Amino acid sequence: MHRFLRFRYLTAVIVALALLSAFLVAASLAWRSVNDSMQMSAHRAVFNADRLLDRTVNELNKIDQLRKLPCDASTVRSLQETVYGSLSQIREVGLIRDGRLYCTNFGPTDKEQPIASRLTNPGVHVDVSPNSVVPNNTSLYVYVSRDKDSAVNALFNPEVLAEFERDFEFSGMGTLSLRLASSAGQQENQDVVRTTVYNVGSLRSQDSAGWLLRYSEASARSAFVASTEVSSRAWWGETLATFPFALLVAALAAAAVLWLVRRWLANGNLDRLRYLAALERDEFVMHYQPIIEAATRNIVGMEALLRWQHPRRGLLRAAQFADIFSHDTIAPTLAHRVLALVERDLAMIPETIPGWCTVNIAPTLLEDNAVLTELTTRIAKMGSKRVRLEITERAPIGDYAEVMLHEVRANGFKIGMDDLGTGYANLSQLQRMPFDFIKIDGMLVRGIQSHDSVSPVVLSLIKMARDLNAEVVVEGVETRMQADALSAAGATHLQGFFFDAARPMSELIAILKQKQIEPRPA
């Protein structure tokens, strides 16, 4: 998993997510825009139809008294004034008596036309019927009746209503239809649930067969119902129009996320995840390097050294991933794992073979009571004569850690200072701390070429350690000359490649059985 947290992989993932997010946002905004436009058009259609109906009813109420008069010139003139005056959208008004239309603004009808009884019941009625005057044309009729079988009506072309919807946005990719719903009390033509008043726009044949968005709105005051149907092509077009803006916003968000991720990775979080993954996969192993008694050149102990069996890079020394010890969330878990591995490996050594093993412990772990308790419990199970603790100098030793070291030493464990001369230790600490042995870093002995070339610093450190009654272990011994010179200078123990490299416990056991090691050729 941690491999995919590399910055280039994260960049690719974030860019892909930004593109996907931009498209989804654009599609969502387009969907909402299309739906809002459909709702607005349907609402406007119903509103305009209701408004026209209200105006028509008001005017018809004004001429209602004319239905009692004969269809003479005076009556026709009054009807004409209504049509050409206040109701300019109406093409014809008429008077109905005894269920028949007998008079219009064009004059008396040649043959009185029967009107459906439902349209002459008291109230307001709306009907859509073929126009008897204009062939192949449908007209909208409004009837206002006060008494049974008598009424006044108005006829106008539905195109008057359709003109209100000329700004319908999806002409060619959608339709807006105004229909008339059958009334609940209507007994005639019950099979006709909707009667179309008018249509605006049209769908191309290839669009009508595809995916359509639909919306309907019914009037709360009349029988008008407006329906819209829009092709998915309209939604796709809106998506493409919105996508550049959504992409710009997504790009800015992705840039901000990448900047935050880069800072997060720069703080070492990627390494922390990598180390946690390695711990979960048990990739950390222990190797052991012999520690030689300077006087006899016998193996008397060993140092447990952490190694990482990397799946791609092979076996890594601790120096190649030393930053692992700086992660406070990993160091306790790693220390537990190290002690568990050491405990397992020491159990492989026969009891007849003496010797001890030194284990590195960071001073910061001694500041945590819970961690310290668990570590000392595990160490105690291995035995104080089998395990020695090396306190690394990579971090300063706090006052509480000093107290804990005294307590650990009181329990019978030997405590040593690792890599003296390269870290945080000072003379006052060496005087206060209960160190049983001190290890001098190999960097200080590389320049030894003869018995007389041991540096004054190394001589001083050896003398100071001996004065403190501490054993002196010198690391990094690579030649016989260095071993002999350091032994002559007072070092009690030696460690380095001249004697042997760190190796797994299974390989070291055979050497331990010999009790003496053959130095490598100079």
Residue 302 has pLDDT above 90, yes or no: yes
pLDDT in tens, 160-209: 776 666 677 777 788 888 888 865 444 444 444 457 888 888 777 666 65
CA pair distance 349, 355, nearest whole angstrom = 10
- Tracing tokens 């850690």 back to the chain, one arrives at 401
- Mean pLDDT of the region 252-276: 68
Residue 210 has pLDDT above 80, yes or no: no
Can you give the pTM of this predicted structure? 0.53
Long-range contacts of 180-184 (CB under 8 A, 24+ apart): 180/126, 180/127, 180/128, 180/223, 180/224, 180/225, 181/218, 181/223, 181/224, 181/225, 182/223, 183/125, 183/223
- Indicate whether 199 and 308 sit together in one domain: no
pLDDT band for 144, please (50, 70, 90 cuts): very high
Phi and psi (nearest 5°) for 490? 115, 0
- Residue 218, pLDDT score: 92
- Tokens describing residue 320: 């190649």
pLDDT in tens, 62-77: 888 898 889 999 999 9
CATH of the domain at 470: 3.20.20.450
Residue 292 has pLDDT above 70, yes or no: yes
Angstrom CA distances, 267 to 2, 375, 466, stand at: 15, 29, 43
CA pair distance 81, 101, nearest whole angstrom = 19
- Indicate whether 106 and 202 sit together in one domain: yes
- Indicate whether 132 and 190 sit together in one domain: yes
CA pair distance 440, 489, nearest whole angstrom = 13
* Residue 251 is assigned to a structural domain of this protein: no
- Residue 133, pLDDT score: 58
CA pair distance 404, 410, nearest whole angstrom = 10
| Range with top average pLDDT, 5-19, 136-150, 322-336 | 136-150
Helix (H) or strand (E) segment spanning residue 227: strand 224-231
Question: Which residue, of 191, 208, 234, is where some domain finishes?
Answer: 234
- Indicate whether 9 and 111 sit together in one domain: yes
* Structural contact between residues 227 and 177, judged by C-beta atoms closer than 8 angstroms: yes
Q: Bigger pLDDT: 451 or 88? A: 451
- Indicate whether 159 and 212 sit together in one domain: yes
Q: Bigger pLDDT: 10 or 288? A: 288
- Residue 193, pLDDT score: 42
* Structural contact between residues 157 and 149, judged by C-beta atoms closer than 8 angstroms: no
- Mean pLDDT of the region 444-451: 84
CA pair distance 159, 199, nearest whole angstrom = 9
Number of domains in the chain: 2
- Residue 473, pLDDT score: 94
- Residue 426, pLDDT score: 56
* Residue 253 is assigned to a structural domain of this protein: no
* Residue 241 is assigned to a structural domain of this protein: no
CA pair distance 136, 157, nearest whole angstrom = 12
- Residue 187, pLDDT score: 42
- Indicate whether 28 and 169 sit together in one domain: yes
CA pair distance 52, 161, nearest whole angstrom = 8
The pLDDT mean for the chain works out to 81
Worst-scoring range by mean pLDDT, 44-48, 391-395, 409-413? 391-395
pLDDT band for 90, please (50, 70, 90 cuts): confident
Long-range contacts of 293-298 (CB under 8 A, 24+ apart): 293/492, 293/493, 294/483, 294/486, 294/487, 294/491, 294/492, 294/493, 294/494, 295/487, 295/492, 297/516, 297/517, 297/519, 298/515, 298/516, 298/517
Q: Bigger pLDDT: 429 or 288? A: 288
- Residue 400, pLDDT score: 72
Percent of the chain with pLDDT over 70: 81
- Indicate whether 230 and 308 sit together in one domain: no
Residue 273 has pLDDT above 60, yes or no: yes
CATH of the domain at 192: 3.30.450
- Residue 192, pLDDT score: 40
CA pair distance 511, 508, nearest whole angstrom = 5
Residue 217 lies in domain: 2-234
Worst-scoring range by mean pLDDT, 121-135, 322-336, 339-353, 411-425? 322-336
* Structural contact between residues 71 and 93, judged by C-beta atoms closer than 8 angstroms: no
- Indicate whether 217 and 295 sit together in one domain: no
- Residue 185, pLDDT score: 40
Give the SS3 label for residue 191. coil
Q: Which of 329, 312, 227 is nearest to 271 (CA)?
A: 329
Q: Bigger pLDDT: 400 or 478? A: 478
- Mean pLDDT of the region 238-245: 85
- Mean pLDDT of the region 392-407: 71
Q: Which sign, positive or negative, has the C-alpha torsion 102, 104, 106, 107?
A: positive
Q: Bigger pLDDT: 371 or 265? A: 371
- Indicate whether 220 and 304 sit together in one domain: no
